[in-house]
Chains A and B, each alone.
Chain A
Amino acid sequence: EVHLVESGGGLVQPGGSLRLSCAASGFTFSSYWMHWVRQAPGKGLVWVSRIDDDGSSITYADSVKGRFTISRDNAKNTVYLQMNNLRAEDTAVYYCARRSGYTDYDLGYWGQGTLVTVST
C-alpha cells in the first residue's frame, strides 16, 4: 500500500527557513516523480513543485521559484522541500503527492499534510 508521510512543519518567522520531508513506502520510490502541493487555510490547492524520478528534472511554481528547493534521496525513500525566505503567504498545509500509476500527469496518492505557519 502506498504511504506518504510529511513532517517538518511548524511555526517560523518571516524571512526564516524550514525543511519539509515526505517519507514514502509501499512502492518503488525511485521510479516515480514526486510533487509538493500546498493549501492555505480556507483556500484552494496550489501546485508547488515536482521532481522527476532521479532528480534530474525539476519545476517550480513562479510563486516559490528562487526561494524553495525540492530534492530527493532515493536511498531513504524521501523527498524534501527546503523553504527559504518564508513569507506570511506561504502559510499553508503542505502535501506531498505521487502519480496514480495510470498516467504520469495526475496526483493519485497524497500524504496527510504538514502545516507551515509563517508569523511573528
Chain B
Amino acid sequence: QSALTQPASVSGSPGQSITISCTGTSSDVGGYNYVSWYQQHPGKAPKLMIYDVSNRPSGISNRFSASKSGSTASLTISGLQAEDEADYYCTSYTSSSSWVFGGGTKLTVL
C-alpha cells in the first residue's frame, strides 16, 4: 500500500491554469476508474472535488477538471483564484479492497 505520488508543491498566478499529477500502479489508479480528488484548507476537513476520475459533485466549480491516462491521474484547475490555495490530495481504490492517498500537493497562488 505505497502512497500515490504527487508533486509536493505547484504554483500559479491568478487566472492561470495548473495541473497536479497523481501516479500509482496497475493495482490502484491504473486498474480502476475510482480516483477522487480532495481540497483541504488549513485546519479544515478535506472537501471532495472530483469523484470517479473526472466527475464533479454538485456545487464544485467547472474550473476544476480531471482525467486519467494509464496509472497517472491529473487534476487541472483553470482560472486560478486566491481561494484555490490549499492542499490537494488524490486517492484511489485498490486491488486489496482498500484505499490509498497521494502524499498531497500544496498549491500556492502567487
Asked if A72 is at the interface of the complex by the 8 Å CB criterion, the answer is no
Residues of B within 8 A of A62 (CB): 1
Asked if B100 is at the interface of the complex by the 8 Å CB criterion, the answer is yes
Least CB distance from B60 to A in Å reads: 11
Asked if B55 is at the interface of the complex by the 8 Å CB criterion, the answer is yes
Interface size on B, residues (CB 8 A): 28
Contact yes or no, B36 A106, CB < 8 A: yes
Least CB distance from B40 to A in Å reads: 8
* Contact residue among A59, A106, A110 (Cβ-Cβ distance under 8 Å from B96): A59
Residues of A within 8 A of B62 (CB): none
Instruction: Provide the bound-state CA to CA distance between A108 and B60, in Å.
Output: 12
Residues of A within 8 A of B99 (CB): 35, 47, 50, 105, 107
* Contact residue among A59, A95, A106 (Cβ-Cβ distance under 8 Å from B98): A59
Residues of A within 8 A of B97 (CB): 57, 59
Asked if B93 is at the interface of the complex by the 8 Å CB criterion, the answer is yes
Q: Most chain-B CB neighbours within 10 Å: which of A35, A45, A103, A111? A: A45
Contact yes or no, B45 A108, CB < 8 A: no
Residues of A within 8 A of B47 (CB): 110
With A47-B99, A59-B96 known to touch, is A103 a contact of B34 (CB < 8 Å)? yes
- For window 78-102 of B, CB contacts with A under 8 Å fall at 87, 89, 91, 93, 96-102
Closest 7 CB pairs of A and B: A105-B34, A44-B104, A110-B45, A106-B51, A106-B36, A47-B99, A108-B48
Knowing that A45-B46, A62-B1, A95-B45 touch, tell me 13 more A-B residue pairs with CB under 8 angstroms: A45-B40, A46-B3, A47-B98, A50-B98, A59-B96, A59-B97, A63-B1, A102-B51, A103-B51, A105-B99, A106-B36, A107-B36, A110-B45
* B→A interface (CB under 8 Å): 1, 3, 32, 34, 36, 38, 40, 45-48, 51-52, 55, 57, 87, 89, 91, 93, 96-104
9 contacts between A and B (CB under 8 A): A44-B104, A45-B46, A45-B104, A50-B98, A59-B98, A61-B98, A62-B1, A103-B52, A106-B36
